[in-house]
Structure formats: structure tokens, C-alpha cells
Structure 1
């Protein structure tokens, strides 16, 4: 069986300092260019977009929404919710399963961190557990149903992996102890999308199909199945 698959990626960079007492708060998001890498044939293709962040829709579609995320992130206050909605679209002419790999890097109080748990003290991500399966540390997610070719652009898209990032409304965290500031510097979220051909997968569901095709997902265990 020839497995058709493709990967694409987008980087979301967070740089911020949150001061005790809300004296100042500063955050920047930077979304890098989408980079596509196709393997085992390029007939399984896709895109990543964040329409409520920057107003950019999938190719050939028109956005009729208010994109506030990018502007709000330039100058926010603790407790503010910033729109951020990465989503995937199958642009090929065959059904495909979609998945994402999420990597975290940053510096917290001069210590390198590489986990969502570290970011979660600074900002909370609104994960969509209704439509996506997640593993325990939120580094992998698989869309629950196949994306089908659709000229009406309905059945060929996922709903967002998450819809917003909420800055912690408290400037003091238990982990901070008696220190005055908890700072998160250069925190970066790298989101890489994966598409696996859904046809001829011997009745596999999305989890089994993605685990079979992609080495990165071979040990995936859903916490919300």
C-alpha cells in the first residue's frame, strides 16, 4: 500500500514579560511563512491559515470577519483574550486525515523551557477538544474526521485547533515564590500540519491512519477519546 502524506508548518512566536501588579505587560506574536514539504507524491496538499488573527483566508476564499488578534497582541493587559485560530484545509482532490505537531521553546526566568506546562503559567490556550484528539502534553493533535474534496469549502477544512490565547490575569504565580516578576522570553510555538491519505487505509480511523503513516505519531495516545 502506497501511503500518501504531506507536512506543512507555521511558527507562532510569543515574546513577553508579565510584571507583578500589572505595571506593564507586553506580548508579540509573529507568524512565520508556511513551509510545505511533500512526501510520497504531492497529490495530498494543504494549507494553514489564521483568519481571526490576521484576516488572511485560504486561497480562493473571501474573509468576512473582524481580525483582531494581531492588533490586540501589540498592546494588551493581563486577562485579555487574543484571537488566534490555526486551522487546516485539504486542497487536494482525495480525502485526507489532518493532524498537527506542536513544539514549545522559550526562556522563563533565565531557564530554558520546552513544554506547554511552562507556557500555561503565562498564557492559556483554548484547545478544541470537541473536534481534535490531543495527547497528554499537548504536543500532538489529530482531527477526528476525514477532510473531503469540496468545492463549497466546507468538508475540506478543519475547525481551529484552538481559537484564542488568554493572558493570565494574575501577575503572581505560586511558582514565582517571593520574586517580583515572572518573565517568559522568546516563547515560540511551532505548529506543523500533517495530511495522510484517507482512501485505501483498510477502514482505519483518523488516529490509526496517522499513527501508521507518520513516525512522529506512532506513540500517540488520545486523552479525550
Structure 2
């Protein structure tokens, strides 16, 4: 019994000495270098433009007037635009709306995405399912959206983010997406509001871009999701 107790005490003492020694060694050998700042600069700019030519008549060759909010006014001389029909719609109307984006960067290719948000007659953001039940749905040929876009997020269930399946470079013909959708179909059984008028509702679209040079599709997808959350 005496021998066992002695061994136990020695073992404890040894552990304590090792712990103390390790602590002292860390203190004596630690070191922090001075900071070095490396500056990288570039004259390249990442930029993107969104247009809906069938909605308001403005194309990528046009510049929106500074005194109007894009998408809220028809280009002078435009006839039969989606916006003109939307301002006095009837149930069952097929209204032209064709959001697309263009890479306008200085020599940089891009991964791009378009976010869609839906709002009710009170200006409150609602989910796509509720919007379709109450008001309207988007259409592109036989689909709700262009199959060359893939939904990558439905943040908070009130907005959807669609990523284009190929990158956009700066070459003419390869720097513009196809429309995400081409029309909005108003519900035939739309219910009048309390004033016995057809309700006002809205769809908001926003474009996003991240560089594609040296960036994988998966990495770009995550970056676009985070960017659209802001």
C-alpha cells in the first residue's frame, strides 16, 4: 500500500511540473511580427445593367432619364408596352414583362442572377405562391421562368433568386441574358378590392453580378446568394 501511494504522488508531481514547464516555454518563445500591408489595385470595374424592353420600351442602347425610376415610365414613342397595359389591366390579361441583364464591365466576365420580389395591394412583400393565388403568375413559353435560369435561393420565402446557367463575357451576343420570363398573366378569377376596383400589385426585379474569372459556379452561387440578401 505504501508503495502505491508513493507512485501516485510522484505521478501528480510530474504532471504539475510538465504543465508549468509548458506554460513557461510558451511565454518565452512567443513572438508577433510587424504588420505588412500589400496593396493590389486594378482599373477593371464590374458592372451590370437590367432592362425590360417589352415592359417600358427602354433597351440596352438607351439610358434612363435621371428624373424617373427605371421601370416606372414608358419611353417616349413606345406603344403597346407592358407598362401601359398594366396601368389599366383586366383579369386574364397577358402583360409583357421581360427582365434581362447585360454585362457592361470593362473586360471582365460575370456570373449573374436576377432576384424577383412580389408585393400585394398594401405594398407588403409576399411569397410567390400567395402572389399566384391572389394576383398573377409569370410565364416564359410553357414554363413560369426561362429554363436557362436556375433558382438558387428563396430567401425568407418572400423572394426568389435565379442564376443564369452560363457566364456573360463582354463579346457582343454573349454579354446579355435571355429574359427570365416574358410576360405576367393576370388571374381570370381576380377578386375586386373593398372599393370594387381591381387591386394594385407589383413585381420587383433586381440584377446581381460577381466576377467569373477564377471563380467556380458553386462559389459564384454562394456569393450571389449573399449579395442578394443585402
**TM (normalized to structure 1)?**
0.61
Give, in whole Å, the separation in 1 of the partners of 2:161 and 2:169.
22
Q: 1:67 to 1:41 in 2, by over 3 A?
A: farther
Higher helix share: 2
Name the structure with the higher strand share. 1
- 1:143 — aligned with what? 164
Unpaired runs of 5+ in structure 2? Answer: 1-41, 64-77
- TM-superposed CA distance for 1:143, in Å, is 0.6
- Corresponding position of 1:59: 61
The alpha carbon displacement at 1:163 in A equals 0.7
Q: CA deviation at 1:133?
A: 0.5
C-alpha contact 1:69 1:84 (8 A) present in aligned 2: yes
Q: Which runs of 5+ in 1 are unaligned?
A: 1-39, 219-225
- Tell me by how many angstroms 1:106 deviates: 2.6
Whole-angstrom distance in 2 between the partners of 1:194 and 1:118: 25
Q: Partner residue of 2:181?
A: 162
Aligned-partner SS, 1:139:
strand
Asked if 1:130 is matched to 2:147, the reply is yes
Task: Give the CA RMSD over aligned residues.
Answer: 3.4
Change (3 A) 1:67 1:96: farther
CA distance in 2, matches of 1:212, 1:88: 18
> 2:207 matched to which residue of 1?
193
Name segments (4+ residues, structure 1) moved above 3 Å.
Answer: 135-138, 181-185
Distance 2:185 2:224 in 1: 34
Q: How many positions carry a matched residue from both structures?
A: 164
Q: 1:41 to 1:214 in 2, by over 3 A?
A: farther
Larger Rg: 2
Shift of 1:209: 1.2
Equivalent position of 1:3 in the other structure:
none
Instruction: Report the CA distance between 1:208 and its aligned residue.
Output: 3.5
